[in-house]
């Protein structure tokens, strides 16, 4: 079973959890770019984390995890939609990298952006990355943004990106339940990276919590998919403005745009550019008429 996001509940405790394994979706990301190992593993952890986060939003839309800093890895972005399409990329200026978040990202912030489909407003939560791992930064994010105790375990290699999440549910949901939280976390600490990578959800939960009753829901399948399109690129060009785009055209003979997520190559010659801006002008009068 590949590329699955599993959700589960402890029957007698107000604690929920998730297990995710990304296989083909992760390899699709690695096929597009040859990342140094340290960047690759960080991107895999971020990808597993973002997949886990996607189960926490209840509306149609997307969730984006972004790390931006002044270190040699300047940006890392993972985006997943509620229909479980995921894409990810990182940009780095040097392949001479030292392990440790601070060495990779420098002074950096981790941002979570939640966007609803067809809604103008969006939610953004920001935490300092510091020298912790991505899991610890997200634990702080959950604490500050949702007041929910959350623990994450993340790992990735060249084949699989995997993650495990435990989260306390509001106590009111099970007022008489005893608090199993600490015990569940202590047991999860015994999970080794290679177990998280290789054990299927059911096996993994049995290995950790065979003494507890767990309800495991039907898993969601996650797949790599990029939402870039010529429409979106043309909108970006329009936003840059006619003069700016014309000057690129004059300099390079054409305007080339590569999608950093899927490597799709977009190319516009002088005629295409005129067409993009004429189309824009054709629409403009009806928008400004009063
Ligand atoms: Zn793309």
Task: Give residue 129 CA to ligand 1 midpoint distance, Å.
Answer: 27
Q: How far is CA 89 from the centre of its chain?
A: 10
Task: Give residue 118 CA to ligand 1 midpoint distance, Å.
Answer: 21
Domain boundary pick from 207, 224, 241: 224
User: Cβ contacts of residue 287 below 8 Å, gap of 6+?
Assistant: none
Task: Give residue 233 CA to ligand 1 midpoint distance, Å.
Answer: 10
Spatial separation of the C-alpha atoms in residues 139 and 117, rounded to whole Å:
26
Q: Cβ(245)–Cβ(273) under 8 Å?
A: yes
| SS3 category, 229 | coil
Task: Give residue 30 CA to ligand 1 midpoint distance, Å.
Answer: 14
Long-range contacts of 182-188 (CB under 8 A, 24+ apart): 184/10, 184/13, 184/15, 184/17, 184/208, 184/209, 185/151, 188/151, 188/153, 188/164
Q: Which residue has the tokens 């300092």?
A: 128
Task: Give residue 261 CA to ligand 1 midpoint distance, Å.
Answer: 5
Q: Check whether residue 148 and residue 260 sit in a common domain.
A: no
Domain boundary pick from 176, 195, 224: 224
Look at residues 129, 126, 164 and name the one whose alpha carbon lies nearest to residue 145: 126
Task: Give residue 245 CA to ligand 1 midpoint distance, Å.
Answer: 21
* pLDDT given at position 282: 45
Q: What's the CATH code of the domain at 249?
A: 3.90.1280.10
Q: Which residue has the tokens 């200026």?
A: 93
Domain boundary pick from 224, 241, 270: 224
* pLDDT given at position 95: 83
CA–CA distances in Å: residue 24 to residues 194, 202, 203, 260: 18, 20, 21, 19
Spatial separation of the C-alpha atoms in residues 168 and 97, rounded to whole Å:
37
Domain containing residue 280 = 230-288
Q: Check whether residue 20 and residue 42 sit in a common domain.
A: yes
When computed from its CA atoms, the radius of gyration of the chain, rounded to whole angstroms, is: 22
| SS3 category, 246 | helix
* pLDDT given at position 279: 66
Q: Check whether residue 100 and residue 33 sit in a common domain.
A: yes
Task: Give residue 124 CA to ligand 1 midpoint distance, Å.
Answer: 23
CA atoms within 13 A on the CB side of 232: 8
Q: Cβ(26)–Cβ(177) under 8 Å?
A: no
Task: Give residue 81 CA to ligand 1 midpoint distance, Å.
Answer: 14
Q: Please say whether the dihedral angle defined by the alpha carbons of residues 31, 34, 35 and 36, taken in this order, is positive or negative.
A: positive
* pLDDT given at position 283: 46
Q: What's the CATH code of the domain at 24?
A: 3.55.30.10
Read off the DSSP letter of residue 33: -
pTM listed for this prediction: 0.89
Q: Check whether residue 167 and residue 235 sit in a common domain.
A: no
Q: Check whether residue 244 and residue 138 sit in a common domain.
A: no
Per-10-residue mean pLDDT, the chain, length 290: 92 94 97 94 97 87 95 96 95 90 93 88 88 91 88 97 94 71 95 96 96 95 95 91 93 93 94 84 44
Partners of residue 80 on adjacent β-strands: 63, 86
* pLDDT given at position 285: 41
Count of structural domains within the chain: 2
């Amino acid at each position: 079973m590949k590329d699955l996001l599993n959700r589960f509940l402890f029957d007698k405790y107000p604690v929920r959890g998730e297990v995710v394994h990304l296989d083909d979706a992760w390899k699709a990301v690695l096929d597009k770019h040859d990342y140094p190992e340290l960047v690759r593993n960080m991107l895999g952890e971020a990808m597993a984390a973002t997949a886990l986060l996607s189960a926490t939003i209840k509306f149609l839309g997307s969730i984006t995890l972004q790390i931006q800093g002044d270190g040699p890895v300047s940006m890392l972005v993972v985006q997943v939609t509620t229909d479980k399409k995921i894409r990810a990329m990182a940009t780095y200026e040097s392949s001479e990298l030292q392990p440790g978040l601070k060495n990779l990202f420098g002074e950096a912030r981790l941002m979570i952006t939640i966007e609803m489909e067809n809604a103008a407003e969006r939610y953004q939560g920001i935490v300092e990355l510091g020298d912790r791992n991505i899991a610890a930064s997200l634990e702080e994010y959950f604490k500050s943004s949702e007041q929910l105790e959350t623990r994450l375990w993340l790992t990735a290699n060249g084949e699989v990106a995997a993650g495990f999440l435990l989260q306390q549910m509001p106590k009111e949901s099970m007022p008489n339940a005893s608090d199993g939280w600490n015990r569940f976390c202590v047991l999860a600490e015994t999970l080794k990276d290679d177990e998280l990578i290789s054990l299927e959800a059911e096996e993994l939960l049995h290995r950790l919590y065979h003494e507890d009753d767990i309800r495991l829901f039907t898993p969601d399948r996650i797949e790599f998919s990029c939402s870039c399109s010529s429409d979106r690129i043309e909108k970006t060009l329009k936003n840059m403005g006619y003069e700016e785009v014309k000057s690129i055209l004059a300099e390079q003979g054409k305007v080339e745009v590569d999608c950093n997520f899927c490597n799709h190559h977009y190319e516009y010659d002088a005629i295409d550019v005129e067409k993009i801006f004429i189309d824009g002008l054709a629409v403009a009068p009806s928008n400004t008429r009063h």
